[in-house]
Amino acid sequence: MKVIEKYNDSLHNPFWKYQLGPETYEVKDTPLRVASIKEALGESTDFEFVTAQHYPERLISRLHPYHDYIRNTSASLANDEEEFYPDLFPGEGAGLKKKVHEPLWGGIWCTDAVTPIKKRTYEVARASAESALTGAEMIREGTERCVYALCRPSGHHAGPRVFGGYCYFNNAAVAAEFLLPSGTVAIVDIDYHHGNGTQEFFEEVKSVFTSSVHCDPSSEYPYFWGYAEETGKGQAAGTNHNEPLPKGAGKREYLASLDRILAKVRDFKPSYLIISAGFDTHRDDPIGGLGLDTADYPEIGAAFAALDLPTLILQEGGYNTSTLGECVRNFLTGFLDAHRNSR
């Protein structure tokens, strides 16, 4: 399996965030996440690392109205140590007539104070999206049946209006838009947190089926999205499906939810499958944690392989660097083994 990467992601390494009161919290989305994954995959001959290609900026900017804001804010910072956080979040109806791409206007474009911009953030976020585009092109052209893009920053919380939740550009949305001229797309998000940005991108697009199995948002980020009654809008009614689970839900409950999602994917009959693969579902994840163990991920990967679709797997969350690499390797190996056995 090709593993796509493109960056020195240590260039984007925020140190702290505002969350849950005046105290500061250390950011869990560190470059060690990528290092742990690369180390685990490097132990197997099943995986070949490939550098992502360069793509026109417009493939990203056309989907993200805040693209120029992120680029310009990154460029405005004095050095690699400086971090910029928005400090005012205007409500709906606020007067937004002036310089919306200047740093101080960040609250227009960002949902939270946990997604800072550093001098190299734009560069690294663009490279993450280009990793997704490279994988999408491989499965579209038929040179690969399944590709894993080692994306960091993640993307699934970035939407068509605002970014946030450690995410700057929505890698799944960029890849899906790239694939759509060649066929329909199904996106399945298996991160602990609901992929609210991805859902919002496509909730009125009938050629994309979106779905997510995640912790119940009534008690977990992103709180305002991810409920079972959200099923798509307008002409796309019925093309979104959410499976919220209680905290601590184990393998049996998780696989039952995934089975319901995959049945709907089969009914949709997509040309391509995108998996937003977060591994903060592991029981020991510091900011996630369903009841899954490292040994559960091969079965989850195999369930996706049974769909027998051209598949792009995108890295989303997963913050326990002691287990993350093994979780990713087990998921991908489960997918590959099932794919081989079906041939």
Q: Catalytic residue positions? A: 157
User: What residue spans of the chain are helical by DSSP H?
Assistant: 32-42, 58-61, 67-76, 121-141, 171-179, 196-202, 251-268, 297-305, 324-342
- How many CB atoms lie under 10 A from the CB of residue 46? 14
Say if CB 154 and CB 317 are below 8 A apart: yes
| Pairwise CA distance, residues 16 & 65, whole Å | 26
Phi-psi region of 21 (alpha: psi -120 to 50; beta: other; left: phi over 0): left
Helices (H) and strands (E) in the chain, counts: 9, 12
Query: How far is CA 40 from its chain centroid?
Result: 20
CA distance 215 to 223: 10
Closest to 19 (Cα-Cα) out of 149, 116, 97: 116
Residue 293, CA distances (Å) to 86, 250, 257, 297, 317 in order:
37, 9, 17, 8, 16
Closest CA to 240 of 273, 207, 193, 216: 207
Phi and psi (nearest 5°) for 275?
-110, 115
Q: Are 213 and 190 in contact (CB under 8 A)?
A: yes
- Looking from the CA of 336 toward its CB, the CA atoms found within 13 Å total 17
